[in-house]
Structure 1
Amino acid sequence: MTQNSADDGSKQTTTSLIAAELRIAIQQGELRPGERLKIDHLKKRFETAVNPVREALNRLVAEGMVDLADHKGFSVATISLEAWRDLLEARCLIESGALRKSILNPTEEWRDEIVVSLHRLLRTPRFHDDERAVMNPEWERIHHWFHRSLLARCGSEVVLSMCDDLRLRSDRYRVIARRARHARTSYNEEHALIADLAIKGDAERAVDELVKHYRATLGEVEMYFKSAS
């Protein structure tokens, strides 16, 4: 490995670590919607150079987590109920088709992956505290794994990439949903039901339950925005 390639690899690792930490801070609400993200401040926070910080922020812009405006720089992307409804409709539309195709094209390895990811998801606490104030990053990682496993046999890497992007954009709103009054606690049962239907090959019911699962979160986010207005 040349010195240049080693430096590039180190910078990429630093960029990924910064992006991951900022992503969590935005999802958890530590960094608020509209808050300015000053490169000099972040450079000091992460004890690194300007380029990895800028590249991390540009990566989050591509994910819809950060906005970039002329003469204003980077800021945490704003949120709205209208944007969330639009995002959820896109997820329902795209993931419904992907899940249906995945179920109609099964393998034993695919079924095993769903079982293993669900098992890990059910055994991992969603929150770090009883007040449901601090999300568990490990639960988030496994949650993504589980949902991607369901869609893995859809036959299109482009579709899977789109689903990954929409899921990342949705994470901020799922954090909001947990703050709603009477936020539901049935997500384990919902995940287990979707997995069971997928493994059994019941594509239409699995799709129906997936959409219902997402729309339940929509309802909680709507409650949050109404209570905050």
Structure 2
Amino acid sequence: MEDVFLETRELTKVYLDGTEALKKISLTFKQGELVSIIGPSGAGKSTFLRSINCLNKPTSGEVLFQNQNITRANGKKLRLIRRQIGMVFQDFNLIKRSSTIRNVLHGRLGYMSSLKGGIGRFSEYDVHEGLAILKRVGLEDHAFKRADELSGGQQQRVGIARAIAQKPSLILADEPIASLDPSSSNNVMNYLKKISEEDGITTIVNLHQVDFAKHFAHRIIGIKAGEVVFDGRPNELSNLMIDDIYFQGDRTYEYTS
């Protein structure tokens, strides 16, 4: 937890219409911590997350990941860096007609030749590992069901399992519980925290539900209008500060404590 292995330096993103989504964000992240990023819709949370692995190319600034400058990488080097960064999406991003286990095994594509990956020829070892990961997220009995036969919460756990299959050192989760009921949300956040603590995988999670951030995160970062306005432990995030982060004429955030 002491070594900084991810850093953003004055990260800025300006879209073509002039929208300044990120304004010189400088942050450091330690290995093995679960960090929740909170803020109102349009604050820049998703832009920040997707700028870390250059899914959104920053306008200026730098992202340093394990002493590698992602913002200057391209081609093969960028692909190798991204292989170490797992993504979990709000809409699950699964191939619905494929089996659960095949969706998990897609996390191994970055380690395969384009020929084997194109035909989905996974090794016996990868299949064994994929089944073990599904057991870890409580879905071993659903391994050979089609993904679209699973509930939303189960599909999100498949998304987490796929990210784990990459063997990443960093997981980025963009609003992973936005469409889930409270029980499924608890399950998903429990698994993300377990992975962070047991595997030492730094996990950065965008959340709109402040109560979940306070309950599960080791650290919370508040972003408002593209700027960091809070960075601290959950017990340091007061209701007054929550109001400051979210209040823009109406209260659209969710918190219970």
Normalised TM-score (structure 2): 0.26
Asked which structure has the greater RCO (Cα within 8 Å, sep 6+), the reply is: 2
Flag the structure with higher strand content: 2
TM-score normalised by structure 1 residue count? 0.28
- Give the number of the structure whose residues are more often helix, by fraction: 1
Query: Which has the higher Rg, Structure 1 or Structure 2?
Result: 1
